[in-house]
Structure 1
Amino acid sequence: MPAKSPNALPPYRAMLVVDLTDFSGNPAADQGRIGADIPVLLRDTFQRMGHGYLHAEAKFVDHTGDGQAMCFRPRALPTLIDLFPATLQAELADRAKRTGTRPQRMRVSMTVGPLTDKAGPSIRDGQGAARIEVHRLLDAKPVCELLTRSNPEVTLVAAIISARVYEDIVVGGYCQLDTDSFVPAPVEVKSYQGTAFLHVPTPSGDLLANGFTPQQSVMPVADKREATPTPASVKIGKVSRNRGAVVGNNSGDIQTGGRR
């Protein structure tokens, strides 16, 4: 039998998605106006970056109601990583000052991978695993918590990038931000599981006190006898990113040890 013809590999594209936090908390009468302003906000952000041409060159743009998805050539990724989150933060802060209103807050996600890319607008534009991944990252608990654990008047943008983007662009040295500007975090949304990397251009509140991934809370000990298990049931080991040790017994794990 003749070999099956291979599927054509779509071009690699960079995906950027933004989403307004607590969009549903706005009155229904205002949601249409707020949603319609998102494309203007992003256009102004790209112009403020000094890279308005990237906005014009986007392979496709998809409004999501409370956010927007944009597709670019991969060569745009270093510029997007270096400038987009910080510039969006500044744009949101300035808008709040001009209008005298509460600042809007947004999450940003980025990834890269093969995506369908037809000549001209098409419902089939942007189909592929990378499109699914970028939306899963946007909804991930670690990036959402960056905003809930920070000052809503100070930290207006939280970003998350895929492992592929981190390895290829950040570790590869193609952007100005270095690896210390990102913190790894496990991501589990629906069937998606992986490791992504968090970035906050203007951290505040608990993010400054405890970092981007908070330490696990110490379990209370109800009975002192449970705090001294028999040697056969003791397990002691390091806990990644918690700077402590775990002492386990038949009633569960107890985290001990202070921060360094």
Structure 2
Amino acid sequence: MTKQITPTLNAASFTCPYCGAHANQTWHALNTGGPLRMAGLGGAARVDGLNPEPAISGSASGQFELKFVNNLNLSHCFSCKRLTVWVVDKIVWPATSAIITPIEDMPQDVREVFLEAAAIVDASPRGAAALLRLAVERLMPHLDAQAKNVNASIGLLVAKGLDPKIQKALDVLRVMGNEAVHPGQIDLKDDKDTALKLFNLVNIIVQALITTPNHINSMFESLPPNALAGIQKRDGRTGK
């Protein structure tokens, strides 16, 4: 699993809280040119209800004296180009107090749901759990285990010899995600600690089913041709 570098104020690089990449960061101090103005009035702050994330837009108009905004900074990720907002040395946007990042080999469509869940886990652990169940559902086609539902997909993997520990992790995410949508015996409404553990389970699953096999295959295929031929002959195979 890729080592996670905790974001710290003014660090040259760290694990981006948005995209999960270990990326270089450009830092921006903020200043003000006078009263807050809306978009279109000389490069001041923009309020966009469709995309409420911070963004770099425009420049100072020169109509007002620029003054620094103390203890408020932006870090700009070189990888995903998104902005993280800091007050003093704490991240206040994206809206999660926990450092939750997806493993590097997580497929992009799964990663998108994972990060969406991370953005709301503080406000809604139950909503995050439901999204992580969706992440598991999106993972299944990447494992050649697409069926009518997540439960059936897990069954296909079990039939192929899935490690029982990974099966348990998948079922935890499936059941808890389902309970989050249809509350029953498990109530995650205010249980952030449990929700945070579910993120780790998703990373463990991707590590076991995608990262580790890819690493082993890469190392195996780098063996000398005569060694590969000998292994194939030993096992009665004509191909790799």
**Structure 1-normalised TM-score?**
0.19
TM-score, normalising length: structure 2 = 0.20
Larger radius of gyration: 2
Q: As a proportion of its length, which structure holds more strand?
A: 1
